[in-house]
Structure 1
Amino acid sequence: MLNFLKKKIALVWAKKHVKETELFKQNAVEDQERLLLSLIKKAEKTLFGRTYRFEEIQSVADFQKTVPIADYEDLKPYIEKIKKGQRNILWTDTPEYFAKTSGTTSGTKYIPISKEGMPYQIAAAQSAIFHYIDKKNNADFVNGKMIFLQGSPELEEINGIKTGRLSGIVAHHIPNYLQKNRLPSLKTNLIDDWEKKVDEIVKETEKQNMTLISGIPPWLIMYFEKLIERNGKKITELFPNLQLIITGGVNYEPYREKMNELLGKQIDTAQTFPASEGFFAFQDDYQKEGLLLLTNHGIFYEFVPLEEYEKPEAKRLTLKDVELNKDYALILTTNSGLWAYSIGDVVRFISKNPYRILVSGRTKHFTSAFGEHVIAIEVEESMKATVEKFPAQITEFHLAPQVNPTEGLPYHEWFIEFEKEPENIEAFRKNLDEEMRKRNTYYDDLISGNVLQPLIITKLKKNAFQEYAKSEGKLGGQNKIPRLANDRKIGDFLEEFRN
Structure 2
Amino acid sequence: MAIINSILTWVMKKRMHQIELFMKYPHEVQEELFKRLITTARNTEFGRTHGFADVHTPEQYRSMIPVFSYEEISPYIERNMAGEQNLLWPSDVKWFAKSSGTTNARSKFIPVSYEALEDCHFKGGKDMLSIYCNHFPDTKMFDGKGLTIGGSQQVNQHDSNQESFYGDVSAVIMSNLPYWTRFVRTPTLDIALMDEWESKIEKMAEVTMTENVTSISGVPTWTIILLQKILEITGAKDITEVWPNLEVFFHGAVAFGPYRSIFKNLIPDNQMRYMETYNASEGFFGIQFEPGSEDMLLMLDYGIYYEFIPYAEIHKESPRVVGLDGVKEGEHYAMLISTNAGLWRYKIGDTVVFTSTNPYKIKISGRTKHYINAFGEEVVVENAERAIATACEQTGAQINNFTAAPKYFGENEKAAHEWIVEFEKAPDNLESFSKILDSTLRNINSDYDAKRHRNLALTLPIVHIAQPGTFYEWMKRRGKLGGQNKVPRLSNSREYLDDILLLINSSELSQ
Question: What's the secondary structure of 1:116's corresponding residue?
Answer: helix
Query: Counterpart of 2:388?
Result: 383
Cα deviation digits, residues 214-263 of structure 1 (max 9, x gap): 11011001101111222232111221111111111111112111121122
Write the distance in 2 (CA, Å) between the matches of 1:170 and 1:314.
Answer: 34
Of residues 292, 298, 303 in structure 1, which corresponds to 2:303?
298
Aligned equivalents of 2:492, 2:400: Cα separation in 1 = 22
Which residue is 2:373 aligned to? 368
Could you tell me whether the CA contact under 8 Å between 2:248 and 2:273 is conserved in 1? Answer: yes
TM-score (norm 1): 0.95
Post-superposition shift, 1:162?
Answer: 3.1
Question: Deviation at 1:457?
Answer: 1.0
Q: Which residue of 2 aligns with 1:283?
A: 288
Give the TM-score of the pair, scaled to structure 2. Answer: 0.93
State how far apart, in whole Å, the 1-side matches of 2:76 and 2:105 are: 14
Is 1:211 paired with 2:214? Answer: yes
Task: Give, as a single letter, the amino acid of the residue that structure 2 aligns with 1:454.
Answer: L
Name 2:509's counterpart in structure 1.
none
Moved more, 26-35 or 13-22: 13-22
Structure 1 equivalent of residue 139 of structure 2: 139
Q: Which residue of 1 aligns with 2:478?
A: 472
2:70 aligned with 1:72: yes
8 Å CA contact 2:68, 2:344 repeated in 1? yes
3-state DSSP of counterpart to 2:372: coil
Residue 429 in 1 paired to residue 434 in 2?
Answer: yes
- Shift in alpha-carbon separation, 1:190–1:312, aligned structure 2, 3 A: closer
**Aligned residue type for 2:125:** A
Q: Deviations over 1:79-98 (max 9, x none)?
A: 22223332221111431412
How far did 1:191 drift?
Answer: 2.6
Alpha-carbon distance, 1:155 to partner = 4.1
With 290-299 and 184-193 compared, the bigger mean Cα shift is at 184-193
- How do residues 4-43 of structure 1 correspond to structure 2 at under 5 angstroms? 4-43=2-41
**1:416 Cα deviation after fit:** 0.7
1:455 corresponds, among 435, 438, 461, to 461
Other-structure match for 2:423 = 418
Which secondary structure does the structure 2 equivalent of 1:271 belong to? strand
Matched with 1:119 is 118
In the alignment, what sits opposite 2:223? Answer: 220
Deviations 1:121-145 (A, max 9, x none): 1011111011111112243121112
Residues 283-311 of structure 1 deviation map (CA, whole Å, 9 limit, x = unaligned): 12114331111111100000001111131
What SS is found at the alignment partner of 1:20?
A: helix
Partner residue of 1:497 out of 493, 504, 511: 504
Q: Matched residues in 2 for 1:140 and 1:81: separation?
A: 47
Q: In 2, Cα distance between the equivalents of 1:398 and 1:462? A: 14
Task: Write the distance in 2 (CA, Å) between the matches of 1:417 and 1:406.
Answer: 30
Residue 234 (structure 2) aligns with? 231
Give the counterpart letter for 1:371 in structure 2.
Answer: G
Stretch moving more, 181-190 or 473-482: 181-190
Cα distance, 1:287–1:252 mapped onto 2, change above 3 Å: closer
Displacement, 1:458? 0.6
Is 2:192 the counterpart of 1:189?
yes
Are residues 6 and 116 of structure 1, via their aligned partners in 2, closer, same or farther at CA, if it must alter by over 3 Å? same
Q: Percent identity?
A: 36
Q: CA deviation at 1:153?
A: 4.2
Aligned Cα root-mean-square deviation (Å): 1.8
The match for 1:394 is: 399
Structure 1 residue corresponding to 2:326, chosen from 317, 321, 332: 321
Deviations 1:185-206 (A, max 9, x none): 2332343110111001111122
Cα 1:395/1:164, change in 2 over 3 Å: closer
> Which moved further from structure 2: 406-415 or 310-319?
406-415
Name the CA distance, whole Å, in 1 between partners of 2:82 and 2:483: 28
SS in 1 for 2:286: strand
Which of the residues 384, 403, 408 maps onto 1:403?
Answer: 408
Match of 1:260 among 255, 261, 264: 264
C-alpha separation in 1, matches of 2:326 and 2:421: 39
* In 2: Cα distance, 1:469 partner to 1:106 partner: 13
